[in-house]
Amino acid sequence: MAKSHSVWTSIRFWRQSAAWVTGFAVVLLILLTFDTMRQIKMGGKRVPSPSVINNHIDYKYSKKRGHEVPVIGDKEPFFGKQWSDEEAAALLHKGKLTSQAKNCMNCHTLLGNGAYYAPDLTKAWLDPKWKQMMPMVGAKTKEEAIAKFLQHPEMYPTHERRMPNLKITPDEAKALVAFLKHMSAIDTNGFPRGFSKGVKEFEAGGTYAH
């Protein structure tokens, strides 16, 4: 007489289920890996190519997404010129290496990594304080103002805490500014939160708090 087995006690059923679930997870992970690569690749969905330093970068609230998103605008000169793709890539690379060599992350946060001793640098290029600093440091453009600040932060204190002089050369400063400008154009899902709120408070005469 054949015994009737319940499916829940069938070894074959559990083996097959395990194989299907594992197979499905593998396929899903492969698809997600490709999607992530697409999102984080330079020139991909979220991270613009280095030549974005040649464009005006705005930061606008998106109702659909519920936070701010970078808006890449018209061409504008960066340190007085338009940079070719190769030049922009080389400058950005130097900026990244300099930021590592000088360990900016030891005090600052970049794209969520780093310390909270000093202001978050993810959107520092968009900080309204640079416009105010231009006449202070004798600069005609925002990029020059940031470059001057980076070389002599002790001369232009804008926070209670001071940034030390890290002996940044003019070329390194230029590259760091490109690095900051490019970073501000990355779609970070609204991180850090509340940027516009800080800007409004600043424009109302307060200090810009990150």
Give the Cα separation of 146 and 111 in Å (integer): 19
CA dihedral (42, 74, 185, 107) positive or negative:
positive
Q: Which is nearer to ligand HEC, 21 or 109 (CB)?
A: 109
Look at residues 150, 130, 107, 116 and name the one whose alpha carbon lies nearest to residue 57. 130
Least distance from ligand HEC to the Cβ atom of residue 112, Å = 16
Round to whole Å and give the CA distance between 201 and 208: 7
Nearer to ligand HEC, 190 or 192 (CB): 192
| Least Å from the CB of residue 161 to ligand HEC | 4
* Count of beta carbons in the 10 Å neighbourhood of residue 125: 23
For ligand HEC, the closer of residues 74 and 160 by Cβ is 160
Q: Which is nearer to ligand HEC, 82 or 96 (CB)?
A: 96
Shortest reach from residue 123's CB to ligand HEC, in Å: 8
Tell the smallest beta-carbon distance from residue 25 to ligand HEC (Å): 41
Backbone CA torsion sign across 88, 90, 92, 98: negative
Please choose, from the candidates 46, 47, 59, the residue with its C-alpha nearest in 3D space to the C-alpha of residue 126: 59
Q: Which residues bind ligand HEC (CB under 6 A)?
A: 99, 102-104, 106-108, 118-119, 121, 124, 127, 129, 146, 150, 153, 157-159, 161-164, 166, 176
Shortest Cβ distance from residue 153 to ligand HEC (Å)?
6
Question: Of the two residues 129 and 174, which places its CB atom closer to ligand HEC in the complex?
Answer: 129
Q: Is 49 helix (H, G, I), strand (E, B) or coil?
A: coil
Q: How many CB atoms lie within 10 A of CB 51?
A: 20
